[in-house]
Homo-oligomer: A and B are copies of this chain.
Amino acid sequence: MGIKHFCLVGSGGVGTIASLVLTKSALARVTVVLRSKYNYVLEHGWEIDSVDHGKISRWKPYRVVRSAVEAATVKEVEYDYVVVATKALPSLNPVVKMISPVITPGKTTVVLIQNGIGIEQDIVKAYPGNVVMSSVSHIGSEVQEPNVVVQVGKDVSKTGPHLHGGVDDSRSMAKARSFVEMYIAGGAHTCELVSDIQTARWEKLLWNGAFNTVCALMRMDVGELQRSNGRETLLVPMIIVQWMAYRLPDDCAYRPSMLLDLENGRPMEVDVILGNALAKAREVGVETPVLSVVYNLLVLEEWKIGQRTAGKT
């Protein structure tokens, strides 16, 4: 299998490790789109401290560029894969708009390493002849300013194609398999190819949709939420699979992503972690009394963040 050409958008903790893994496979040539960090990383590279890959100083991918438009201009060939590892914020930052310059219709495979559900439809609609696939990642990795990537949680993921009518299932599966082979060759801890990625997405969502959302709303870590009786009054009624409410120990100091976003005044993944699931529940007639209230409260938190961002508060 020859060298594949990748473009990666969203070089945070998750995306930078993905670009490292793909590069280490020696099967991929990765162009990374950087915005604010472009100048710094171009000069200094990344300082990586990884539970999977050890310490790597001044690491750079094959190429860094300032925008997807630049990534499209400088490319010597069309991209085989575009990897999206941004936060999933469909209304603020739609993926289609982000990647359109680097997509070759009918050719480029779109790989979404993102949270939540309902993230594929817009892409399939815009590029009905392209393979779309996604990863459910359990990596723990973050960027510390300006260029340090600290990966404390092993890179464990499930990856699979999002089958849709515009592409033969066998072709979608082949592209996903090829990606997984590269990802494993690059030294990721675990990357499992699955045929039904939506089940994996919902599995993660069952915990995330309850714990992540209530932790954010209450500014509490997982352990606090469990010790406070909030598990019994809120999480158990929210979670369909009850054992998930008891999976983590009561001294677990984990602060889920939406809590970190809220504390830092950043937009949260409310739509893909909760809004889309509630739309699905309405569609199939499932009552969601607690989740709906939590959703509406989080929308208010987003409104506040938006007001502050707009300098109105």
Q: Which residues of A contact B (CB under 8 A)?
A: 214, 217-220, 224-225, 228-230, 233-234, 289-290, 293-294, 296-297, 299-301, 303-304, 307, 313
Contact = CB atoms under 8 A, between A and B. Distances in A.
A15 B313 CA distance: 34
Contact of A289 (B214, B217, B289, B313): B289
Contacts of A228: 300, 303-304
Contacts of A300: 218, 220, 225, 228-230, 234
28 contacts: A214-B297, A217-B297, A218-B297, A218-B300, A218-B301, A218-B304, A219-B304, A220-B300, A220-B304, A224-B304, A224-B307, A224-B313, A225-B300, A228-B303, A228-B304, A229-B299, A229-B300, A229-B303, A230-B300, A230-B303, A233-B296, A233-B299, A234-B293, A234-B296, A289-B289, A289-B293, A290-B293, A297-B297
A296 B301 CA distance: 18
A289 B234 CA distance: 12
Contacts of A230: 296, 299-300, 303
Given A224-B307, A229-B299, 15 more contacts: A214-B297, A218-B300, A218-B304, A224-B313, A228-B303, A229-B303, A230-B299, A230-B300, A230-B303, A233-B296, A234-B297, A234-B300, A289-B289, A289-B293, A297-B297
**Ordered nearest first, which 8 A-B pairs have the shortest CB separation?**
A293-B293, A233-B296, A228-B303, A289-B289, A230-B300, A218-B300, A228-B300, A234-B296
A307 to B, nearest CB: 8
A229 B313 CA distance: 16
Nearest to A313: B224
How many monomers of this protein are in the complex?
2
A43 to B, nearest CB: 42
Contacts of A289: 289, 293
A197 to B, nearest CB: 32
Nearest to A303: B228
Contacts of A224: 304, 307, 313
A91 to B, nearest CB: 14
Contacts of A219: 304
